[in-house]
Structure 1
């Protein structure tokens, strides 16, 4: 069993190009509709799949700008967070949280892509005992 995000965007062709540039995505296939929209663009990022689709308002398939944002954050685990963060910024992403070393043992930052989706970029630095993470989270959120 696996889970594959299916992101709705305004401009699936442009989004596929952005993800290729920002995250070195490999396009596997696309399915156009007769009116020129894309029902699906299937990408591979690392060992994960990602599907993109244009908006289809007539079917209530809507992108984040249309619905006023997204409650979903996609997590991208990488070997070099600084390099991936810089690559995504150069491709047009915007910083939501700058990269920093965290109390849970990761180098972490958050980006917004040009299509309204939010990405955590994480690089594992070292293991931190669960109890220490819980205690640090309690301090951070009190």
Structure 2
């Protein structure tokens, strides 16, 4: 079993186009804290970054077709859209609304406005400027 004292057992690894801009967006939109940042040798791209947000960790890197022989580690912008949504569980319906408003103010697009759902949760989705979908979810207070 892995040692999870330093890192959670599962870490999404997001490929983006424009790594430095992505880090700035995640800081502004989600309050992300950068715990590691490794620039690429070309001085332009981001080789690796670890960010802490919403109580978890996400790894971020730019596209590197020269290091991925199959050429299939692509950003959603290059691939033509996202293949997953990142679900963020929050504490309250108000937290969902606030997270979506903050993300939109930072440049995200709301693709599903927050609403009260049949599964008794407040739920909505945004598309970040780098092509990744983030879903925000919180249980509704008991009526």
TM-score range, shorter chain: 0.7 to 0.9
Deviation at 1:57, TM superposition (A): 2.0
**SS of residue matched to 2:112:** strand
The RMSD of aligned alpha carbons is 1.3
Residue ranges of structure 2 left out of the alignment (5+ in a row):
3-8
Residue 47 of structure 1 deviates from its aligned partner by: 1.6
How far apart, CA to CA, are the structure 2 residues paired with 1:46 and 1:68?
27
Aligned residue in 1 for 2:12: 5
* Structure-1-length-normalised TM-score: 0.85
Q: How many residues align?
A: 127
Considering only CA atoms, is the larger Rg found in Structure 1 or Structure 2? 1
- The counterpart of 2:135, out of the listed 114, 117, 120, is 120
Q: Tell me the residue number matched to 1:70.
A: 82
Q: Which has the higher helix share?
A: 1
Taking structure 2 as the reference length, what is the TM-score of the superposition? 0.84
Aligned with 2:114 (options 99, 105, 110):
99
